[in-house]
Structure formats: C-alpha cells, structure tokens
Amino acid sequence: MKKTTKFILFFIAIAIFTIITPNLSNAQRVANNEETLNSEVSAADPGETITLQNDITVTKPIVIAKELTIDGNGHNIVGSNDWTSTSGNQTMFTAQLSDAKLTLKNINLRNGPKYGVQSYDGATVILDNVSISGFRYGGVLANGGKVEVRNLHLGFNGTNENNGIEIDKGASATNNPTLTMNGVLTSESNENVIRPAENGHLTDFTITNTQNTTNKVVVSGNKVVLTDSSDNVISESTIPDKATPSGDIQKLIVTIITNDKTNKITVDSGKTITADLLKSHIELEENYIIDGFYRDSNYTTEFNFDDPINTDTTVYAKISKVETSIPEEQPDQTPESENQVKDETPKTGVESHLEIAVLTILLATAAIIAIRNKNIKG
C-alpha cells in the first residue's frame, strides 16, 4: 500500500512539474535599467516581449536581430549625455537584417546622437503608441528596411531643420525601403515629416496605406505628401531625381487660395473635382459667401469643373460680404405729456348707456312741460 502511494505521489509530482515548466520558460521578461534591458534582449527567444518597469537611460545602441517586442509600459528610454559608443551605428534601436522584427509599443524615446530607431536592410520595425523626439539626425530611419506606423507621434528631430521619418538606402544595403501607414501619424512640425534621402544611394522605395489607416502618405508628382483624415496636406517633401517611388495611391495637389488663406488638398489624378469639395475645405467668416472659383487671382477666368485634374492645380475662391439690412426704427409712441393719467378703468359700456338714458329723460320732461303750458294757454 505504501509503495502504491509513493508511485501515485511520484506521478503527481511529474505531472505538476510538466505543467509548471512551460510557464517558467515563458515567464515575463522585465527590465529596469540599461544592464537588464541588454541582457533580456540577448536572452529572449524570438517572439518574446520585454516590459519596462521604469524609465531607463541608455549609453549605447541596442541592436535587435530577431523578432522581439519591447513594451515601454508608458515609460521613457533616454539617451545619456555621456554616450559611450563609438561605432558607426549611433541609433538608439536598430532592427538589423531580414530576420529582425522589432515592435516598440507604449514607449517614449528621447534624445540621442543620431536616430531614435531604424530598420536596416530587410528588417521590420513596427511603431505602436510610440513618441520620438530630440534625436540629432532624425526620428525614424527606414534604411533599406520596412517601417510600419500604427500610432506614432514625432516631436522635433534633427538639427537646423526637422527630420521625422527618413527613407533611405545605405551604401551596403541590398533591400529597398518600405513605409506602411496603418494608423495615425502626428508631428509637432510640418516640415519634412516624411523625407526621402538625398545622398544618392536611394533609387527605389515603396509607400503603402492600409484600409484602416487614419492619415495617409501618398506620392504626388515629385513629392511625398502626408495628409490628414480629410486629405488636407500636412507636409510635403521633394523626391530626389534619382529616386523612383512606387505606391498604392497616386495623387495630385490642389491649392485653394481664399484672400490671404491657403489650403492644400490631395485629389485623385485624372479625375474631376466639384465645387462642393472645395467649399468643404474653406472656412468662411460670418456673413461671407463664395461667389465662384477661378483660375487666376484677378477672377477673370472661371474654373471649369468638367476638366479632369492632370497636374498640380491652383484654384482661387472669390468671396464677398453679405450686407445685412438694419430694421427701421419705429415712431416713438410715447404720449405727448408724461403727466397725463391713463384711465385704467375697464370699459364695459354701462357709462355710455346711462348718459343716453339721462338725456332722454331730460328731453321727455321738457317736451311734457312744453305741451302742458300750451294746453293751459289754449
């Protein structure tokens, strides 16, 4: 009996160990400083997640060569003023080569000598609820890799001018860069939010937009354009002559000028537009109306809405103020004398009837007296 009990307990222990062991191997990876972050990145199996427990200051680049998620849990990763790395790569986070897929989520990247994050030569970077600011070269670098924007906010990145997301291909990269919009991209600066590099290595790049994206990045002629959800132009950057873009959306820019205000919107190439579309992008002051749309600032040639848009186009909106009529003042109805006392007694008609009766009685009495005197004399 005792042996049977021991065997049963032994098998129960094995079963418990079997159940617990996978859970131990999948225990959550956490980091609370630069040392533990780097060690967890090295030790993590592909597909695992590292969660930050507090803000972390880093002094050198972090390179990812596998599939990995870093969940900032709302915390910051800040580049130290005492940056110690002297390698050519000075970017805070780099996903490197085609096996790498780095997802950054719920995290704020602050300050660094080059870029906040880059995808290099076939690697993928996904930015989900990420904020990036204060990097000397730029916020994001698609360096022959793929960048997917799900929810990204860009502060000012760069030196003399802003550089939000740079599309580039390094001299040693073998893949062309791709930018995919799959959510929301906001920026504190409207300058160079999306910028194709001009170093001569970039020859081909791809831009795509998912059906779920809120704002889009589109190709318009020789420009890369960031729009909002209503197709208003937020930012536009010129594409270098040597670079050839491919994208799922080809657009043209219509510039609407209303007095001293200028709005830019993107429209489908080769399609016609309507006056209602233009009006929906114009904010008028009270009592102003649109008189028409013209090709020139002197309002001499009306815009023909039957013509398709085949090139970037400027439209001038003529507006005028509506003169509202002021009601004439009514004559003063004030009584001539304010001292006159108004009779507030209700008029029932009894007084007038009484006066008539008294007068009738007086007339009848006078007639009777006259008749009686006549009889006496006769």
Cα–Cα distance, 136 to 151 (Å, whole number):
22
pLDDT level of residue 368 (50, 70, 90 thresholds) = low
Q: What is the pLDDT of residues 232-289, one digit of tens each?
A: 999 999 999 999 998 767 799 999 999 989 999 999 999 999 999 999 999 998 889 9
Give the pLDDT confidence of 333-353 residue by residue, as tens digits.
655 555 555 455 455 554 555
When pLDDT is averaged across residues 205-213 and rounded to a whole number, the result is: 95
pTM: 0.78
Q: What is the mean pLDDT of residues 120-136?
A: 98
Give the per-residue pLDDT at 99.
93
CA distance 114 to 134: 10
> Are the CB atoms for 346 and 288 separated by under 8 Å?
no
Examine the pLDDT at 372 and tell me if it is beyond 70: no
Residues 159-202: tens digit of each pLDDT: 999 999 999 999 999 999 999 999 999 999 999 999 999 987 99
Confidence of residue 304 (pLDDT cuts 50, 70, 90): very high
Q: Using pLDDT thresholds of 50, 70 and 90, give the confidence band for residue 11.
A: very low
Asked if pLDDT for residue 14 goes beyond 70, the answer is no
Rounded mean pLDDT, 358-363: 66
pLDDT of residue 356: 62
